[in-house]
Structure 1
Amino acid sequence: MGEPQKKNQAHVDEHDGIDLRGTLFGVGVVGFVIIIMWFGVWSLFLSR
């Protein structure tokens, strides 16, 4: 059997500089849409 592979530290360092602002914006938009949908369903419930 071969030796277990050592984890490459250089590979981990590649992810340190990733900019996640686009991801944060996308999650915020999805959350906003979900909140708007909840208020729509709630107003429909109150109107009946």
Structure 2
Amino acid sequence: MSNPADAHPLTHISHSPPVLSVPFDPRPPEPLPEESTVDLKGYFNTL
């Protein structure tokens, strides 16, 4: 029973790294959001 208990805490640690990777992804696509701003302007104009 001690073995499975050790695996649980390890799983939690593994989940921690992926969470940090998410915020890093939106950083590189900085130029992408810029184009989105132009699209937003057109969308607002349609309204």
Range of TM-score over shorter length: 0.3 to 0.5
- Say which one has the larger Rg: 1
Q: Please report the TM-score for the alignment, with normalisation by the length of structure 1.
A: 0.46
Q: Please report the TM-score for the alignment, with normalisation by the length of structure 2.
A: 0.47
